[in-house]
């Protein structure tokens, strides 16, 4: 039986800090099937890049930080493939952060500037890059799959009055992703975290 590529995603979890209190939303699982892409593509003009879990240096992605606020996005990669996440600010449609997360590992993207963001995901093996006119293009050369979230993560800090006190809520999220190779059919269920399949060109925009 041919192995299939299964896409596992867990709902983004919002954590709001109020003094010493922490609120955490419920998490729902979602599994949907994706067959392994059979792409014939020439990667001769791409270069091997040594990468580990963490911020991924790319000439056209200038990391943006706001060290005055403790915002964060914890991404857990539970899949059999490595993962690259791009955090896109909807205000200017520019990637604020681009991180590499090896399979079965986690990384927290910290000090994210206030704004509303969507995520672009690249799953696969053997990451390579090339530069065209100063623009960095990155692709997985084996088992590639590219997706973009439909959900929007709101990283705006909010304040409210409770009694005689002003309470500040600093958003923090948790996202669990992964693509797995298994030989048996998977169940499909409904999740509130949704993605669209995109091309490698769309991922690199």
Percentage with pLDDT > 70 across the chain: 73
Segment 162-172, tens digit of pLDDT: 888 888 899 99
- Asked if 100 and 74 touch (Cβ cutoff 8 Å), the reply is no
Segment 145-193, tens digit of pLDDT: 999 998 999 999 998 898 888 888 999 999 998 887 765 444 443 345 5
- Residue 75, pLDDT above cutoff 70: yes
pLDDT of the residue at 202 = 78
Percentage with pLDDT > 90 across the chain: 44
pLDDT of the residue at 93 = 94
pTM over 0.75: no
Average pLDDT, the chain: 77
- Asked if 102 and 80 touch (Cβ cutoff 8 Å), the reply is no
CA distance 164 to 159: 13
Structure tokens at 43: 């990667």
Greatest CA separation found in the chain? 65
Where b means 16+ CB within 10 Å and e means fewer, 178-194 reads bbbeeeeeeeeeebebe
Structure tokens at 201: 């060109």
Band (134; pLDDT cuts 50, 70, 90):
confident
Band (194; pLDDT cuts 50, 70, 90):
low
Segment 17-70, tens digit of pLDDT: 333 333 333 333 333 334 444 445 778 888 888 889 998 877 778 899 999 999
- Residue 13, pLDDT above cutoff 70: no
The mean pLDDT of 2-11, rounded to a whole number, is: 47
CA distance 12 to 130: 32
């Amino acid at each position: 039986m041919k192995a299939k590529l299964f896409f596992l995603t867990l709902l983004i979890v919002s954590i709001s800090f109020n003094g010493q209190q922490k609120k955490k939303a419920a998490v729902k699982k979602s599994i949907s099937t994706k067959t392994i892409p059979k792409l014939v593509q020439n990667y001769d003009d791409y270069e091997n890049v040594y990468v580990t879990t963490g911020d991924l240096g790319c000439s056209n992605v200038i990391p943006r930080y706001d060290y005055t606020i403790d915002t964060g996005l914890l991404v857990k990669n539970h899949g059999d493939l490595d993962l690259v996440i791009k955090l896109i600010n909807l205000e200017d449609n520019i990637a604020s952060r681009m991180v590499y997360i090896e399979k079965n590992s986690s990384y927290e993207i910290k000090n994210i500037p206030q704004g509303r963001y969507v995520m672009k995901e690249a799953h696969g093996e053997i990451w390579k890059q090339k530069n065209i006119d100063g623009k960095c293009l990155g692709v997985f050369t084996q088992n590639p799959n590219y997706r973009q979230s439909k959900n929007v993560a709101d990283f705006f800090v909010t304040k409210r009055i409770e009694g005689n006190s002003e309470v500040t809520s600093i958003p923090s999220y948790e996202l669990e992703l992964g693509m797995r190779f298994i030989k048996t059919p998977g169940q499909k269920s409904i999740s509130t975290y949704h993605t669209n399949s995109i091309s490698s060109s769309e991922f690199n925009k």
